[in-house]
Structure 1
């Protein structure tokens, strides 16, 4: 899948008082913890996700999986690219880290997705249109910031 060809959904960012290498470690830990919560694997099965369990190398590297996602690229301290697919959507989540000053870095999370068909459109309204996706991304980035600072 060419991630750049997926339509842009949104981007969220946090400036964190930490170096990118430290944030990188916490990014992987928070993703692993967040996606190992009860019900996440069941949800991945319910919607027919291609990847339904956490597996592969840790820290996260190309080939690692989380429920709903597969790591397709990992450049420690710089970029983590997750992609996934299920019966209602094909999607990607790209985390990018950039140095913004002494002991400060910006963590950006870019979401891209396509929602084919009538069911996909309904799913988009349910996940994106209600603001649920934005709330989830904000919580995820806040958790990474809190752990990193």
Structure 2
């Protein structure tokens, strides 16, 4: 999280879910779902349209520091504990952090924390479209549910 603090990105939101699986299974599910969710043609086209610094997947799998998925670069990966993704494009600099916490036998709390900065008038409009409409929150909750389903 030191990387995120150094970027001074304001908190957007945080969502969590309880997964009926151990942290290793959730870690594998997290990587699988992220790779699948951000690999489609539409995601890659959108990333190129807005000028993402990392418009396509690359690097080692399972995800490790330096890996990319469409729109994000992995800046920290502590298997079974934390995955930190950062990205930037014309309208925003952003981070998505996944935290895994053991919550008992075969139970893991999975949290997703979103942070972002939206500079200038175009950034403000983009924030309104993505955050203000609730679309971002719906997308993150769907992502967490997919990771939960995949992991269980």
Instruction: Give the TM-score normalised by structure 1.
Output: 0.98
Measure how far apart 1:3 and its partner are. Answer: 1.2
Partner of 2:36: 33
1:110 matched to 2:108: no
Q: Deviations over 1:113-144 (max 9, x none)?
A: 00000000000000000011011101100001
Q: Deviations over 1:76-103 (max 9, x none)?
A: 0000000000010000000000011111
Partner of 1:92: 95
Measure how far apart 1:38 and its partner are. Answer: 2.3
Partner of 1:147: 150
Measure how far apart 1:2 and its partner are. Answer: 4.1
In structure 2, the gaps of 5 or more residues are none
Partner of 1:81: 84
1:3 matched to 2:4: yes
Instruction: Report the Cα distance in structure 1 between the residues aligned to 2:44 and 2:121, rounded to whole angstroms.
Output: 25
Instruction: Report the Cα distance in structure 2 between the residues aligned to 1:33 and 1:53, rounded to whole angstroms.
Output: 12
Partner of 2:72: 69
The CA RMSD measured in Å over matched residues stands at: 1.0
Instruction: Give the TM-score normalised by structure 2.
Output: 0.96
Instruction: Report the Cα distance in structure 2 between the residues aligned to 1:139 and 1:43, rounded to whole angstroms.
Output: 19
Q: Deviations over 1:40-66 (max 9, x none)?
A: 011000001000010000000000001
